[in-house]
């Protein structure tokens, strides 16, 4: 019988979708003895998983609960098949993305600060704040207190399952969407990432939701940030190293752009890192996927993939096949 090791913190009830003919083995955070399993579901926190790995024996298949698996191949080697949880975090991450965009366009961080200070008249600072970040110095009456998402020009960099869910959620806002992926394709039209620099100047909102690879490392650097128009909003729901942090800090401090980040480089972000104090920035600590539905959805994806594996069928989410 195939043994499937999973984090012991999960109650067996949320593994009810797994095939009945496998043995589910709860795994501790640490162990002082070897544990034999065939299939490994690592702890979502990679530090815990990496700590346990030296005690695991016989692993042939890794079913990761995350979309990102960049830390796993170097740990388990080439002779283990690795699958990610593609599709499990579409809703939560897409909701964070749309929420972050709306939060900044509606200037919620500023109004939260006003609320905490209890000073109503600070609302009259809004027009100047709007003019400073957007460069729109027209005389507008009544004065501008908020901005609208509807009709904005959005550049979606990454068009996998999460990117497609973001597009679905943006549809009611009737945004002008341009899609970018590793390679160009039609139906729907998707531009190649090699075209990114030519597309950046037209975008009012740039969303990053692509894997971190050697090719995407620091994809957004000083030159790309310089191409973005005054007041453009950069949203990173992907991985921190896709953006050059030093260049981003400089761009934020200059008042040229604004940003919403759920991921950073480095991560965790050190206490006194300059990002913490940057203006025009909404920062959350890599929590976009962290909802009560996280584990049940990810384990449902893993159970389905395991069923394919046991039947000798093609795997849907394989990111590495054993050699």
Distance CA 139, CA 271 (A): 41
Query: Strand pairing partners for 309?
Result: none
CA dihedral 117, 123, 127, 128 (to 10 degrees): -30
Question: Other CB atoms closer than 10 Å to residue 297's CB: what's the count?
Answer: 20
What are the angstrom distances between the C-alpha of 81 and each of 2, 20, 75, 233, 321? 15, 22, 12, 38, 4
Q: Which residues are catalytic?
A: 239, 267, 286
Q: What does residue 132 show for φ and ψ, rounded to 5 degrees?
A: -65, -40
3-state percent breakdown (helix, strand, coil) of the chain, nearest 5 = 35, 20, 45
Alpha helices in the chain (DSSP H): 46-52, 73-76, 90-105, 108-117, 126-134, 161-170, 196-199, 222-227, 245-253, 294-310
Tracing tokens 């034999």 back to the chain, one arrives at 36
Tracing tokens 């976009």 back to the chain, one arrives at 288
Considering only CA atoms, which of 237, 198, 211, 1 is closest in space to residue 99?
237
Residues listed for the chain? 323
């Amino acid at each position: 019988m195939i043994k499937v090791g999973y984090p012991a913190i999960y109650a067996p009830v949320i593994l009810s979708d797994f095939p009945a003919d496998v043995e589910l083995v709860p795994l501790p955070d640490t162990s002082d003895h070897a544990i034999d399993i065939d299939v490994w579901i690592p702890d979502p926190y990679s530090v815990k998983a990496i700590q346990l790995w030296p005690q695991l024996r016989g692993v042939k298949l890794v079913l990761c609960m995350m979309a990102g698996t960049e830390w796993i191949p170097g740990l388990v080697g080439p002779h283990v098949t690795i699958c990610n949880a593609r599709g499990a975090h579409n809703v939560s991450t897409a909701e964070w993305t749309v929420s972050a965009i709306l939060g900044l366009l509606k200037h919620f961080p500023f109004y939260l600060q006003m609320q905490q200070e209890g000073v109503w008249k600070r609302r009259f600072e809004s027009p100047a704040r709007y003019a400073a970040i957007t460069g729109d110095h027209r005389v507008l009456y009544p004065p501008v207190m908020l901005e609208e998402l509807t009709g904005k020009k959005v550049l979606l960099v990454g068009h996998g399952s999460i990117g497609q869910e973001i597009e679905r959620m943006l549809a009611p806002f009737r945004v002008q969407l341009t899609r970018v992926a590793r390679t160009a394709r039609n139906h729907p039209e998707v531009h190649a990432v090699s075209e990114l620099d030519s597309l950046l100047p037209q975008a009012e909102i740039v969303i990053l939701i692509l894997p971190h690879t050697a090719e995407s490392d620091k994809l957004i650097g000083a030159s790309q940030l310089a191409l973005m128009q005054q007041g453009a909003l950069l949203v990173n729901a992907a991985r921190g190293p896709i953006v050059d942090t030093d260049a981003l800090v400089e761009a934020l401090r200059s008042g040229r752009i604004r940003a919403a980040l759920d991921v950073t480089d480095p991560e965790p972000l050190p206490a006194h890192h300059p990002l913490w104090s940057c203006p025009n920035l909404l920062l959350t600590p890599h929590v976009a996927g962290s909802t009560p539905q996280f584990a049940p959805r990810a384990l449902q994806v893993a159970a389905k993939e395991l069923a394919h594996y046991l039947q000798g069928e093609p795997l849907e989410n394989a990111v590495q096949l054993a050699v």
